[in-house]
Structure 1
Amino acid sequence: MIRITATAMLLLAAWTSPTEADPLQDAVAGEHRSSEARLRDEYRHPQQTLRFFDIQPNMTVVEISPGGGWYTDILAPLLKDEGALYAAHFHVDENSSDYFRQSRERFAQRIETDPVYQAVKLTSFDPAHALDFAPAGTVDRVLTFRNVHNWYMRHGDEGIERVFAAFFKALKPGGILGVVEHRLAEDQPDEWQQRSGYMKTSYVVKMAQQAGFEILASSEVNANPLDQHNHPKGVWTLPPRLMLEDTDRDKYLAIGESDRMTLKFVKP
């Protein structure tokens, strides 16, 4: 006959009790996320990426240029109750393109109608016209996903300098800047950054350090060793864009989405 002591029973209860709630895992698994969005988790690794950036539910976070809200769908429910989320969307004025205008309007409509988005604070961001997207020195995390190449192609080095200076200004001392960007190999030509959609890690690190940041860590969570970064239409050759349409479609689908750097910087 096997006797179970009181201590053993307590240990058994601890081992078999439900696991603690995981707000980030719940946000990623939320039913509000579309099946199309979930398909891209394979390449964007949202849970691992946000853990690397140490996003906590009680933080004040800025998402720069959220576009259609792929990451907002995760950040909004995660931060809704205890934290705050600024969505620094496209700056719109009389000179703005229809794409910028319509993208921002769709996002604003979601804030008005989608319960998941109700606590999101919509602000504006642009490297030339709108750099004060949150009160200075109040933010725990600034996050940008695959945007650096856009700013570089439109505004060059000066635009990138302004961007990183704005991030530095918004963050609290000890605050974290998280950057995910299409990664160009260091031995490939610098000029490819002007048209390919890929950026060199050394360039991004240099510009962040120039603004006052210190690099804390890098992660290979969003790496793709199948991507050689030398496609006819740049990064847009790959999925999800597939700019060559049916030409070599299977080849590019087999590669998958781009190779990406994932960098974590701190404001001292």
Structure 2
Amino acid sequence: MRHFRPVAIAALLTAVAAACSAPSHDAVAKDSAAKPGDALAAAVAAPTRTPANLARDKYRHPAETLAFFGVKPGDTVVELWPGAGWYTEILAPLAKAGGGTLYAAAPWDRGLNRVKAKQTENADVYGAVKLAEFPNAGTNPKVPDGSADVVLTFRNVHNWRFDGKDNTAEAFKQIFAMLKPGGTLGIVDHRLNESDDSAKEEKSGYMKESSIIGFAEAAGFKLAGKSEINANPKDTKDYPKGVWTLPPTLTEGDANRDTYLAIGESDRMTLKFVKPAS
């Protein structure tokens, strides 16, 4: 009989235990796959983002906001009224890395000029972004009905409200149509206190949560959640020149500039809606 020293036996037992507890090849491959959170973090950290936009992350919490809305790398995402492209700088790299599709949809074509400029400047990152008219009048490209996993709009519903209640209702109707059953609508907007006069929605840039929820539910959406990710209790919401008094616009220029910078960007609601699956 072959004899083993105690040290050798201990080493042998350790090796066997390690082999038994080692993950399988499939498990390693699965674990190494990019998780949605990792992909979002990478997109937020994209080297192509504008430094001035990066400075606003402390107010806008993009990774947390997109995670709350359930945005995944391979999704078909529609960004409504992207403006200068603050979120486009995150969503485009996310779609590119994950094999997803990104639509930028806005008034044709002035509302898409900033995105077009980005496509010209950096076709590698932005070239695949699809352009569509929103609200769509029937003559220019649109987001196909039932094609989107997620529709996002950041600080824009108040702009639609300026065009009247009927036009706002039509906008939500078109959003509902472009989403797949079970798809998500994510909204961030400047939040008016529920106790304030609703007439302020027509000029201040702030809207009540109840108003936006009302428009969404009337179009067929179900409220799926609220988040305080983008809340700012310092915002008094009582400025004669509206929300644009605060950064980044700072409408009053140097007047009370330090006060408004200390407040930061506006108090914002973050609402998640779902298009019913049936």
| TM-score bucket of the superposed structures, by smaller chain | 0.7 to 0.9
Matching of residue 163 in structure 1 with residue 171 in structure 2: yes
Aligned to 1:213: 221
Matching of residue 146 in structure 1 with residue 149 in structure 2: no
**Aligned ranges 1:155-194 → 2 under 5 Å:** 155-194=163-202
CA contact (8 A) 1:238 1:256 kept: yes
Q: Alignment partner of 2:164: what SS? A: helix
Q: Could you list the runs of 5+ residues in structure 2 that have no partner in the other structure?
A: 1-6, 24-30
Aligned to 1:33: 49
The offset of 1:89, in angstroms, is: 2.6
Aligned to 1:78: 94
Q: Aligned partners of 1:10, 1:117: CA distance in 2, in Å?
A: 47
* TM-score w.r.t. length of structure 2: 0.85
The offset of 1:9, in angstroms, is: 8.7
The offset of 1:19, in angstroms, is: 7.4
Aligned to 1:253: 261
Q: Aligned partners of 2:196, 2:268: CA distance in 1, in Å?
A: 15
CA contact (8 A) 1:89 1:123 kept: yes
Q: Aligned partners of 1:230, 1:251: CA distance in 2, in Å?
A: 14
Q: Alignment partner of 1:5: what SS? A: helix
Matching of residue 235 in structure 1 with residue 243 in structure 2: yes
Instruction: Output the amino acid matched with 2:103.
Output: Y
The offset of 1:216, in angstroms, is: 0.3
Q: Aligned partners of 1:45, 1:145: CA distance in 2, in Å?
A: 12
Aligned to 1:87: 104
- Identity within the alignment, %: 50
Q: Aligned partners of 1:260, 1:131: CA distance in 2, in Å?
A: 32
Aligned to 2:81: 65
Q: Could you list the runs of 5+ residues in structure 1 that have no partner in the other structure?
A: 93-100
* TM-score w.r.t. length of structure 1: 0.88
CA contact (8 A) 2:83 2:114 kept: no
Q: Aligned partners of 2:113, 2:158: CA distance in 1, in Å?
A: 23
Q: Aligned partners of 2:148, 2:218: CA distance in 1, in Å?
A: 20
The offset of 1:33, in angstroms, is: 0.7
The offset of 1:129, in angstroms, is: 7.3
RMSD: 2.4
The offset of 1:68, in angstroms, is: 1.1
CA contact (8 A) 1:125 1:131 kept: no
Instruction: Output the amino acid matched with 2:204.
Output: S
CA contact (8 A) 1:127 1:162 kept: no
Deviations 1:134-179 (A, max 9, x none): 11011100100000111111x1110110010000000010000000
CA contact (8 A) 2:155 2:190 kept: yes
**Aligned ranges 1:96-175 → 2 under 5 Å:** 101=110, 104-114=112-122, 115-126=124-135, 133-153=142-162, 155-175=163-183
Q: Aligned partners of 2:150, 2:141: CA distance in 1, in Å?
A: 15
CA contact (8 A) 1:45 1:221 kept: yes
Q: Aligned partners of 1:158, 1:60: CA distance in 2, in Å?
A: 28
